[in-house]
């Protein structure tokens, strides 16, 4: 465990974040009981409680969460648009959403108190990752239904820092803002940070013309090696935060000054880790699907929401920062983006880890999966760092071989490697889409 803080250790709401464990568990149980009583206002849950004979009085400890039914994305879809609303529409203060593959968003709703609460939860991870009231923050998340923009906006406002709500897109304008307005903090997806880093490095921008110190990234998976690349490239510190619209948006968990994983806001979210096939809990510290029960949501209660995100909870005791909350790992992948290649399970993040360890590789890649005959084939298209691209076949073959063997040693699979020149692959302004799987078209 890392026992040296990277920055000053600051805590926004110690009364909740540092509660002695027995008190925290008692608070969780009490809030879970209330959450069950509240969820009974949603016909979907009422019907299941009646069928299973569940009453709030049966919830005596956090372990009783296992009596409750799971909720999956399809349940939200089949109750489109607002079947999970537990308050009159007149009490809703905000609607946000998440774009779906069906073309219609999944709508989520917040009361005034939900928005207020959400602001504090975002303030918690922002403060632990260096945000101070005297800072200026550039938000390069989209403002709209996506919870990233407005979620972080209100968290920053709560802390008292100045916000530049620039939204995503137009890298030249982003850079102009960084130089002219000199924000110390940047907020966006890690893939958008890569795109901005490209613009900064390619335009030969002098480091002292921008004042960035920290960045808070979330909304999509990224790896530790990607963090190193961005920190080195931009000379800043990057912090990870996690959340999803169905249970709130950002603010579910985030890193502290010690960066020992992301602290879960456990007074407000009950976490389980289950085997996605059997739905049984996995042994402590093992990876599985994260299942989240928000404990305080008024407008839109969900119980045991199956996130499809794969991760694990740390079992190495408590963090030196003083918080008593459990920590979660980075998201290792999603059950729905796990690739099964010739029978082997591979997450795109494993391929990213292999690639980022090779110096000649730029942080831009695309994974293409196909089944030209009977066998799955994977081709990884990879940009080479500017200046490393060479006309010498031998040099390029050496780079290709080292990439092939790095991928093989991490995934156990042989993948084809296609090296491409700088600035040829797609860049992303929001969440990246780095996998193209044409097999699905054939199935």
What residues make contact with ligand DLL under the rule CB under 6 A?
98, 146-148, 218-221, 240-245, 249-250, 307, 309, 331, 334
Q: How far apart are CA 353 and CA 346, in angstroms?
A: 12
Q: Are the C-beta atoms of 299 and 42 separated by less than 8 Å?
A: no
Of 198 and 309, CB closest to ligand DLL: 309
Q: What is the DSSP string of 85-152?
A: --S-GGGEEEEEEE--TTSSPEEEEEEHHHHHHHHHHHHHHHHHTT--TT-EEEE-SPPSSSHHHHHH
Of 187 and 417, CB closest to ligand DLL: 187
Min separation Cβ 168 and ligand DLL, Å: 11
Nearest residue to ligand DLL, scored by beta-carbon proximity: 218
Min separation Cβ 432 and ligand DLL, Å: 11
Q: What are phi and psi of 221, to 5 degrees?
A: -70, 145
Min separation Cβ 289 and ligand DLL, Å: 11
Q: Cα dihedral sign for 114, 166, 257, 7?
A: negative
Pairing of strands 288-294, 305-311: antiparallel
Min separation Cβ 24 and ligand DLL, Å: 23
Of 28 and 96, CB closest to ligand DLL: 96
Q: How far apart are CA 17 and CA 19, in angstroms?
A: 6
Of 240 and 324, CB closest to ligand DLL: 240
Min separation Cβ 124 and ligand DLL, Å: 13
**DSSP at 71:** B
Min separation Cβ 351 and ligand DLL, Å: 15
Of 48 and 189, CB closest to ligand DLL: 189
Of 109 and 419, CB closest to ligand DLL: 109
Q: Are the C-beta atoms of 52 and 69 separated by less than 8 Å?
A: yes
Of 147 and 324, CB closest to ligand DLL: 147
Q: How far apart are CA 248 and CA 65, in angstroms?
A: 19
- CA 52 to centroid of chain Cα atoms: 33
265: its two tokens: 């806001």
Of 183 and 311, CB closest to ligand DLL: 311
Long-range contacts of 274-281 (CB under 8 A, 24+ apart): 274/306, 276/306, 276/308, 276/310, 276/335, 279/70, 281/66
3-state secondary structure 327-369: EECCCCEECCCCEEECCEEECHHHHHHHHHCCCCEEEEEEEEE
Q: How far apart are CA 197 and CA 375, in angstroms?
A: 38
Q: How far apart are CA 240 and CA 243, in angstroms?
A: 11
Min separation Cβ 347 and ligand DLL, Å: 11
Of 309 and 376, CB closest to ligand DLL: 309
Q: Are the C-beta atoms of 1 and 319 separated by less than 8 Å?
A: yes
Of 174 and 307, CB closest to ligand DLL: 307
88: its two tokens: 């009159």
Min separation Cβ 76 and ligand DLL, Å: 11
List Cα–Cα distances, 285 to 288, 311, 411, in angstroms. 9, 9, 21
Q: How far apart are CA 249 and CA 96, in angstroms?
A: 9
Q: How far apart are CA 355 and CA 367, in angstroms?
A: 12
Of 11 and 244, CB closest to ligand DLL: 244
Of 33 and 326, CB closest to ligand DLL: 326
Min separation Cβ 285 and ligand DLL, Å: 19
Min separation Cβ 373 and ligand DLL, Å: 33
Min separation Cβ 234 and ligand DLL, Å: 18
Min separation Cβ 254 and ligand DLL, Å: 8
């Amino acid at each position: 465990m890392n026992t040296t803080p990277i920055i000053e250790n600051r805590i926004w709401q110690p009364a909740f974040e540092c509660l002695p464990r027995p008190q925290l568990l008692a608070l969780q149980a009490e809030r879970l009981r209330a959450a069950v009583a509240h969820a009974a206002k949603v016909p979907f849950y009422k019907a299941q409680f009646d069928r299973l004979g569940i009453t709030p009085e049966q919830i005596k400890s956090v372990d009783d969460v296992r009596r409750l039914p799971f909720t999956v994305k399809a349940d939200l879809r089949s109750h489109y648009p607002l079947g999970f609303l537990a308050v009159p529409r007149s009490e809703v203060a905000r609607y946000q959403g998440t774009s779906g593959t069906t073309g219609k968003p999944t709508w989520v709703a917040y009361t005034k108190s939900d928005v207020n609460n959400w602001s504090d939860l975002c303030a918690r991870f922002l403060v632990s990752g260096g945000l101070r009231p005297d800072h200026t923050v550039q938000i390069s998340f989209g403002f709209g239904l996506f919870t990233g923009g407005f979620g972080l906006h209100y968290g920053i406002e709560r802390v008292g820092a100045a916000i530049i709500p620039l939204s995503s897109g137009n890298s030249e304008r982003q850079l102009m803002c960084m130089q002219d307005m000199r924000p110390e903090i940047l907020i966006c997806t890690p893939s958008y940070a890569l795109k901005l880093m490209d613009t900064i490095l390619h335009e030969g921008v002098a480091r002292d013309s921008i004042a960035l110190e920290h960045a808070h990234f979330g909304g999509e998976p990224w790896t530790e090696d990607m963090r190193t690349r961005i920190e080195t490239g931009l000379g800043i510190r990057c912090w990870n935060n996690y959340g999803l619209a169905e249970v709130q948006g950002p603010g579910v968990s985030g890193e502290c000054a010690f960066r020992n994983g992301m602290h879960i806001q456990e007074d407000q979210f009950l976490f389980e880790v289950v085997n996605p096939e059997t739905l049984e809990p996995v042994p402590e510290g093992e990876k599985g699907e994260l299942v989240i029960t928000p404990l305080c949501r008024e407008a839109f209660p969900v119980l045991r929401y199956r996130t499809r995100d794969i991760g694990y909870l740390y079992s190495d005791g408590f963090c030196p920062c003083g918080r008593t909350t459990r920590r979660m790992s980075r998201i290792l992948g999603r059950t729905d983006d796990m690739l099964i290649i010739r029978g082997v399970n591979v997450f795109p993040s494993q391929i990213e880890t292999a690639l980022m360890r090779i110096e000649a590789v730029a942080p831009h890649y695309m994974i293409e999966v196909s089944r030209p005959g009977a066998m799955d084939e994977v081709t990884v298209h990879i940009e080479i760092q500017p200046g490393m691209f060479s006309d010498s076949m031998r040099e390029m073959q050496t780079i290709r071989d080292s990439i092939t063997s790095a991928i093989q040693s991490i995934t156990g699979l042989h993948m084809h490697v296609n090296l491409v020149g700088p600035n040829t692959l797609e860049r992303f302004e929001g969440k990246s889409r780095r996998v193209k799987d044409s097999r699905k078209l054939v199935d």
